[in-house]
Amino acid sequence: MRPEALTRAQALERLSAFLPRAGSAYARERNIDPGPEETGHVSRLSPYVRHRLIGEWELARAAEKAHGAAASKFIDEVCWRAYWRGYLEMRPAIWARYMDYLLSDEAETARSGETYRAAIEGRTGIDAFDVWVSELIATGYLHNHARMSFASIWVHTLRLPWQLGAAFFLEHLLDGDEAANTLSWRWVAGLHTPGKVYLASTEAIATCSAGRFRPTGLARNPAPVVIEPPPPVVTLPTAQPAPRAPSVLLVTSEDLGADGFRLAEQPIVGVAALVTGKAPVAAATASVAQTLAQQIGTEVRLFSSRAELESALRSFGTRTLLTSRLPVGLTRAELNAVLNDTGEPIHLFERTRLWDAVAWPAAARGFFAFRPVILHLMALTDPGGFQGRP
Ligand SMILES: Cc1cc2nc3c(=O)[nH]c(=O)nc-3n(C[C@H](O)[C@H](O)[C@H](O)COP(=O)(O)OP(=O)(O)OC[C@H]3O[C@@H](n4cnc5c(N)ncnc54)[C@H](O)[C@@H]3O)c2cc1C
């Protein structure tokens, strides 16, 4: 079930197979999860979208072309990703606090408890939950409704810290996304929308699992919400002009090219790839970098340390890197660790896709307030293009 490498060809094939179901059928059936062996009612494109082997705009436009107004539910869901991304970009403290918690004594104590061990080993005895643990580990994927119910059981029934559940998801999901994952877990725990938690019920799980599960003993009352100080809201950086100096194209798993990097006007002298993450993602990153280097007619160098990057830059004869915008999260932290290591400065230029540049600043409040920007996103001439091109 778990692919060895993710490719754009797989994504396009999956999109074309799913497209007939992206209209009213999606709006009607998307909450029903018939299980991993069935085709189901959702696209399962998230690992490809997450690593930008395909752009959200490609999904949204294909669905609109196929179904017109009936695609609006699918397009909304696709846009949730941009909403969560923008929300976290403007509130990086949420991510920093979550990472700090994972290193805390409190987290260590919870991790050594039997409830946590039983949860991550899928032996809680709770119908559905234990099966979802195996499914998540085996496939790297869970249906949205299973994720919601899983998180609810974790937080409200097992009374485990939401942060440890979010980390468990991030460790196994092939679409593991720092924004969608962290913020969805917080939403379930009652930290996103004041006064709202997501409390899974036996009936909802029975319906949404197409009758496969009927768990009993679920919490009827939510776990207490630990009130936090509101995270400071930061201003998003303005567009950086693309460098005129010869540059090395930096490929990371944050953006594996989607419908192109629009490099025609860029003086690219080499390709470097930060190869990290789960095996299928690392394989996809290396493969995309290799293909790009062939297309540009240059060399590719893979790196995961400062020494390897230094060697690549020496061989390409420049200290300028050009990449797609690296949002808040693990890749950004890994690259920062490499760049901030002692040595001569390396210049990093980040270009933001127009889809993100338009969507992210609109994620200031709730999704309801964000929705009007969807029309604007759908009307962009080249949503996969980059902001501030020369
Ligand atoms: C607790 C929890 C954790 C989650 N963690 C992640 C995560 O790490 N990575 C992730 O991509 N999504 C996450 N989601 C959101 C959602 O569950 C998945 O995006 C969705 O299940 C992916 O399946 P699909 O591709 O079949 O979606 P489809 O329904 O076919 O939707 C198409 C695309 O739209 C986007 N999308 C759909 N629903 C959402 C949503 N609610 N939030 C954000 N994007 C959405 C995805 O890119 C998806 O591929 C999480 C949800 C919950 C409740």
- Encode pLDDT of 273-319 as tens digits: 999 889 999 999 999 999 999 999 999 999 999 999 999 999 999 99
218 CA distance to ligand 1 centroid (A)?
24
**Span from the CA of 140 to the centroid of ligand 1 (angstroms):** 13
CB 176 near ligand 1, within 6 Å: yes
Q: Which two three-digit tokens encode residue 340?
A: 């901030």
User: Which ligand 1 atom lies nearest to the CA of residue 175?
Assistant: 9
**Which mutation among 39, 41, 77, 374 tests ligand 1's pocket best, with the greatest number of atoms within 8 A of CB?**
77
What is the reported pLDDT for 389?
A: 59
Phi first, then psi: what are they for 31, rounded to 5°? Answer: -85, -10
Q: Is the CB of 178 under 6 A from ligand 1?
A: no
- Give the number of the atom of ligand 1 that is nearest the alpha carbon of residue 43: 30
Exposure letters 180-197 (e unless 16+ CB within 10 A, then b): bbbbbbbbbbbbbeeeeb
Whether the pLDDT of residue 390 is over 70: the answer is: no
Answer yes or no: is the C-beta of 22 below 6 A from any ligand 1 atom: no
Cβ 33 under 6 angstroms from ligand 1:
no
User: CATH number for the 247-351 domain, one of 3.40.190.10, 3.40.50.620, 3.30.420.40, 2.60.40.740?
Assistant: 3.40.50.620
Instruction: Determine the pLDDT at residue 284.
Output: 97
Which part of the chain is CATH 3.40.50.620? 247-351
Q: 161 C-alpha vs ligand 1 centroid, how far in Å? A: 21
Q: Where does the chain hold its CATH 1.10.579.10 domain(s)?
A: 92-208
Partners of residue 320 on adjacent β-strands: 347
Architecture of the structural domain at 92-208? Orthogonal Bundle (1.10)
pLDDT digits (tens, 9 = 90+) for 204-249: 999 999 999 999 999 999 999 888 899 999 999 888 878 888 999 9
In this predicted model, what pLDDT tens digit does every residue of 111-129 receive, in sequence order? 999 999 999 999 999 999 9
In the reported structure, the alpha carbon of residue 71 is separated from the centroid of ligand 1 by a whole-number distance in angstroms of 17
Give the nearest ligand 1 atom to 198 CA.
Answer: 53
pLDDT tens for residues 330-375? 999 999 999 988 788 999 999 999 999 999 999 999 999 999 999 9
Question: How many angstroms separate the alpha carbon of residue 214 from the centre of ligand 1?
Answer: 24
Q: Would the CB of 169 count as within 6 Å of ligand 1?
A: yes
Ligand 1 pocket member 346 (CB < 6 A): no
Residue 182 Cβ < 6 Å to ligand 1: no
User: Measured from the CA of 50, which atom of ligand 1 is nearest?
Assistant: 11
Tokens of 129: 């939950």
Residue 167 CA to its chain's centroid (Å): 13
Task: Please answer whether residues 254 and 261 qualify as being in contact, where contact means their C-beta atoms are separated by less than 8 angstroms.
Answer: no
Distances in whole angstroms, Cα of residue 107 to Cα of each of 160, 279, 292: 10, 27, 42
Tell me the C-alpha distance between 119 and 172, whole Å.
Answer: 14
Lowest mean pLDDT among 6-15, 171-180, 341-350: 341-350
**Cβ of residue 181 lying under 6 Å from some atom of ligand 1:** yes
Q: Please tell me if the CB atom of residue 49 comes closer than 6 angstroms to any atom of ligand 1.
A: yes
**C-alpha 315 – ligand 1 centre gap (Å):** 40
Residue 269 has pLDDT above 90, yes or no: yes
Contact 127, 139 (CB under 8 A): no
